[in-house]
Amino acid sequence: MKQAPWINYRPEIKILDCTIRDGGLINGHMFEDGLVKAVYDTCVAAGIDYMELGYKGDKKIFAPDKHGDWKYCDEDNIRRIVGENDSPLKLSVMADAEKCDFKKDIIPKEQSVIDLIRVATYIHQVPTAVAMIKDAKDKGYEVTVNLMAVSVVQERELNEALDIFVQTDVDAIILVDSYGVLYSERVHDYIKQYIKAAKGTGKEIGIHAHNNQQLAFANTIDALVAGANRLDATMSGIGRGAGNCPMELLLGFLHNPKFNLRPVLQCIQDYFIPLREQIEWGCLVPYFITAHFNQHPRSAIELRAGKDKDEYVEFYDRWNEA
Amino acid sequence: MKQAPWINYRPEIKILDCTIRDGGLINGHMFEDGLVKAVYDTCVAAGIDYMELGYKGDKKIFAPDKHGDWKYCDEDNIRRIVGENDSPLKLSVMADAEKCDFKKDIIPKEQSVIDLIRVATYIHQVPTAVAMIKDAKDKGYEVTVNLMAVSVVQERELNEALDIFVQTDVDAIILVDSYGVLYSERVHDYIKQYIKAAKGTGKEIGIHAHNNQQLAFANTIDALVAGANRLDATMSGIGRGAGNCPMELLLGFLHNPKFNLRPVLQCIQDYFIPLREQIEWGCLVPYFITAHFNQHPRSAIELRAGKDKDEYVEFYDRWNEA
């Protein structure tokens, strides 16, 4: 019997850094090359498995004069940072259902340095996601599916979606707590449900947590303990609104000797402490309030952008009276 | 079978606000009366069970010209804030083993507005703590014992301490993660161990978590799920170093209708947002590093007070090379 299982590690666990992708939602995907390159070098040095650079956004929907390069992740722009990516680090992009012209903008794998396409979908877009999964697999990529905003998905619909996904060739299914609502018991239940659905298929289960209630790291650990092998995190927890699971905390927890914490601390010290002077993210009360009411954080993001950014009670009343 | 136990509540759960006590470790216990009164009024309005005002520090050890009133919690000073405390809120003070002249400074309950004496002890001070428990019970108080820095206590010694405490008249035994080291699995194990030791005695188990790894709230929930009924929290998570479990998050989680979140948000907005401009607390990287190495946060507190406060890598190396 294992007395202290936490001192060992599970070699199947893979970490995806989504610093540039999720962080890009704060600043219109306009990171300077120096920072993107630093995150890339850090991921390589830290033994992180995947780095997600941004979205494959449709330029017909998202005007290129209003967004940075990482909204589109054109091949040339990625290569500007990573060259031929001569490293063990795999590269990922996110493709949102209905916001990606995937047939055109996702090129065959043999022409791309990208390794993994992460299809992101809301529950009402599942058939589109299935088509995107097939397209990306046919083109030769690893593919995962991120079913977003799970805290507002009804249980029968979730089971149906999982049944559909396990019949595709997708490599992993990711639990996404978009609104930062979940607590440990619920994370545990969801992960067990996802694992049960995927049983015998070889598909992995993962988690993408948000930090609205200061639980992104805790929930990521809880998912891991429940059996999730794909874990998302970002440098200094950067990400839209309250942000994500902080990479430094996650690497501090993991015991696989292939991971190195020190390069991540260096990256935070050199790039993310200064960045915090320019853009805001983290566990602020308004993000907790939207999570408390199981809402998208957009109203909290708007609040924080205005002059009444610390008027918490009025913001709470607005939701409480709704 | 319960399908979603988290929508209900356990009426036995009691919350202790230790804002002024633990927050006082940042500023030499020199809070202005307006803030102390605001926290008191907030605790009453929010339905919180206990409010801890500070320490019963020995004036022979801690010079009164160097510390604020809440280092000593003299009866007159408490009454300056709470009068006769004509409210359901109970009042608490902490008495540190070997730092409290308890026989003299803890007066009989019938002369005091204090309801609860919290005896804090390190493992090597257990016999002193036992004497303090007896003294406070004899004087008519509720008494709990906080065994500090549990992450550096050997298992046999912990079991011995628990055996000793359950033979006293203490009302509750509190798990204290002074260094902010614990993760959910370990919190669960500890709480089960404490509950097992106290079985049949009617003594409650509690938790006091620290936020070094952004897990104070998560660990408090985990302790609750494992059976702990006494939970510590502070307004805006204030507390030494990384701080404590944020009260606003904890009340957002609890479903007992006697608790009210709104007054806590008002208190944070009015008092703790401005206070953050003056003093620092929260989940900063140096506090995570001391927790990572299972150390007291004092070296991180020193780092944050100096000009090299963001030199994380050098700080990490110092511990890593030790």
CATH number, residue A41: 3.20.20.70
> What whole-number distance in Å separates Cα of residue B38 and Cα of residue A155?
43
Residue of B226, B231, B285 whose CA lies nearest to B254 = B231
pLDDT score of A48: 98
Q: Burial of B307 by CB count in 10 Å (0-12 exposed, 13-18 middle, 19+ buried)? A: exposed
Residue A71's region, left for phi above 0, alpha for psi from -120 to 50, else beta, is alpha
Whether residues B209 and B296 share a domain: the answer is no
List chain A residues with CB under 8 Å of B216: 214
Q: Is the dihedral of CA B182, B300, B244, B26 positive or negative?
A: positive
Q: Give the domain extent around A299.
A: 285-320
In this complex, the residue of B213, B285, B289 whose CB is nearest that of residue A217 is B213
Cα B305 to the center of its chain, rounded Å: 23
A52 assigned to some structural domain: yes
Residues in chain A with CB shorter than 8 Å from the CB of B320 are 262
In angstroms, the separation between the Cα of residue B124 and the nearest Cα of chain A is 25
| Contact criterion met (CB below 8 Å) for A32 and A262 | no
Phi, psi (degrees; rounded to nearest 5) at B120: -105, 135
H-helix or E-strand spanning residue A267: helix A262-267
B-chain CB neighbours of A289 within 8 Å are: 265
At residue A1, does pLDDT exceed 70?
Answer: no
A174 and A221 share a domain? yes
Report residue B187 CA to chain centroid gap. Answer: 16
Select from B95, B106, B117 the least CA-distant residue to B50. B117
Question: Half-sphere exposure (CA, 13 Å, Cβ side) for A196?
Answer: 8
Are A74 and A141 in a shared domain?
Answer: yes
Q: Confirm whether B5 is domain-assigned.
A: no
Residues of A in CB contact (< 8 Å) with B are 5-6, 183-186, 211, 213-219, 221-222, 225, 246, 248-249, 252-253, 261-262, 265-266, 268-269, 273, 283, 285, 288-289, 292, 310-313, 316-317, 320
Q: Are A313 and B273 an interchain contact pair (Cβ–Cβ within 8 Å)?
A: no
Residue B5's pLDDT is 85
Chains A & B: contacts with CB separation below 8 Å: 106
Of A5, A213, A262, the CB nearest to B249: A213
DSSP B20-70: HHHHTTTTTT---HHHHHHHHHHHHHHT-SEEEEEE---TTTS-GGGS-GG
Query: Cβ–Cβ of A265/B312 closer than 8 Å?
Result: yes
Out of B276, B295, B310, a domain closes at B276
More confident residue, B5 or B83: B83
Task: Compute the distance between CA of residue A126 and CA of residue A145 in angstroms, rounded to an integer.
Answer: 10
Whether residue A120 is found in the same domain as residue A225: yes
Residue B3 falls within a domain, yes or no?
no
* B212 → chain A, closest CA residue: A249
The pLDDT value given to residue A5: 85
Q: Residue B254: helix, strand or coil by DSSP?
A: coil
* A285/B262 CB distance under 8 A: no
Of A6, A248, A310, which has the smallest distance from its Cβ to B273's Cβ? A310
Q: What is the pLDDT of residues B241-277, one digit of tens each?
A: 999 999 999 999 999 999 999 999 999 999 999 999 9
Domain match, A264 and A140 both: yes
Co-location of B164 and B219 in the same domain: yes
Q: What is the mean pLDDT of chain B?
A: 97
Per the CB < 8 A criterion, the answer to whether A233 and A247 are in contact is: yes
% pLDDT > 90, chain B: 97
Question: How far apart are the C-alpha atoms of B121 and A81, rounded to whole Å?
Answer: 54
The 3-state DSSP composition of chain A as helix, strand, coil percent (nearest 5) reads 45, 15, 40
Look-up of token digits 């993210």: A281
Q: Which two tokens stand for residue B235?
A: 């307004």
Question: Which is it for the CA torsion A39, A73, A207, A287, positive or negative?
Answer: positive
Question: Closest Cα partner for A20 from A223, A229, A247?
Answer: A247
Mean pLDDT of A188-214: 98
| Residues counted in chain B | 322
Q: Is residue A99 part of a domain?
A: yes
Alpha-carbon distance A179 to nearest alpha carbon in chain B (angstroms):
15
Q: Are residues B213 and B314 in the same domain?
A: no
- Inside any domain, residue A4: no
Question: A322 falls in which pLDDT band (50, 70, 90)?
Answer: confident
Taking an 8 Å cut-off on Cβ atoms, the answer to whether A312 and B184 are in contact is no
Give the tokens for residue B115.
Answer: 């309801």
> Stretch A297-308: mean pLDDT, rounded?
96
| B153 and B110 part of one domain | yes
Cβ A214–B214 below 8 Å, yes or no? yes
**Phi then psi dihedrals of residue A146, to 5 deg:** -110, 105
pLDDT of B188 higher than 70: yes
**Closest chain A residue to the Cα of B316, Cα to Cα:** A262
Euclidean distance between CA atoms B254 and A61, whole angstroms: 42
| DSSP conformation class of B234 | B
For residue A124, being part of any structural domain is answered with yes
**Encoded tokens for B27:** 């500023």
Contacts of B313 in chain A (CB under 8 A): 262, 265-266, 269
Structural domain total, chain B: 2
Mean pLDDT confidence for B88-106? 98
Please tell me the distance in Å from B244's CA to the nearest CA on chain A: 12
- pLDDT tens for A65-79 read 999 999 999 999 999
Secondary structure percentages of chain B, helix, strand, coil, to 5: 45, 15, 40
CA pair distance B9, B3, nearest whole angstrom? 14
Does residue A15 lie in a domain region? yes
Angle between helices B155-166 and B184-198 (to 10 degrees): 40
The answer to whether B286 and B303 are in contact (CB under 8 A) is yes
Nearest to A92 by CA among A110, A121, A115: A115
| In a shared domain, residues B148 and B58 | yes
For residue B71, the 8-state DSSP code is G
**SS3 state of residue B300:** helix
pLDDT in tens, B24-60: 999 999 999 999 999 999 999 999 999 999 999 999 9
The percent of residues in chain A predicted with pLDDT above 90, rounded, is 97
pLDDT on residue A65: 94
Confidence at B1, pLDDT banded by 50, 70, 90: low
Are A238 and A316 members of one domain? no
Helix or strand holding residue A160 (H, E): helix A155-166
Distance from the Cα of residue B130 to its chain's centroid: 19
Report the distance separating Cα A21 and Cα A26, nearest Å: 10
CA B121 to chain centre: 13
Q: How confident is the model at residue B303 (pLDDT cuts 50, 70, 90)?
A: very high
For tokens 């308890």, the residue is: B102
- B97 close to B128: Cβ distance less than 8 angstroms: yes
Answer whether B5 sits within 8 Å of A222, measured CB to CB. Answer: no
CB B120 within 8 A of CB B95: yes
- Helices (H), strands (E): how many in chain B? 14, 8
- Indicate the pLDDT class of residue B322, thresholds 50, 70 and 90: confident
d(CA B63, CA B55): 14
pLDDT tens digits along A277-287: 999 999 999 99
The 10s digit of each residue's pLDDT in A90-136 is 999 999 999 999 999 999 999 999 999 999 999 999 999 999 999 99
The torsion defined by the Cα of A258, A260, A264 and A265, in degrees rounded to 10, comes to 170
Task: Report which DSSP code applies to A308.
Answer: T
Rg (CA), chain B: 19
CB A97 within 8 A of CB A57: no
- How do residues A31-67 score in pLDDT, each as one tens digit? 999 999 999 999 999 999 999 999 999 999 999 999 9
Q: What is the pLDDT of residues B198-217, one digit of tens each?
A: 999 999 999 999 999 999 99
Contact B253 A214 (CB under 8 A): no
Cβ neighbourhood burial of A216 (10 Å; 0-12, 13-18, 19+): buried
Q: Are residues B176 and B35 in the same domain?
A: yes
A205 and A299 fall within a common domain = no
**AA letter at B127:** P
Alpha-carbon Rg for chain A, nearest whole angstrom, is: 19
| Residue A261, SS3 per DSSP | coil
Q: Quick check: is A35 in a domain?
A: yes
Nearest to A268 among B215, B246, B285 (CB): B285
Q: How far apart are CA B176 and CA B161, in angstroms?
A: 14
Q: Cα–Cα distance between A239 and B215 in angstroms, integer?
A: 19
- Indicate if the pLDDT at residue A2 is higher than 80: no
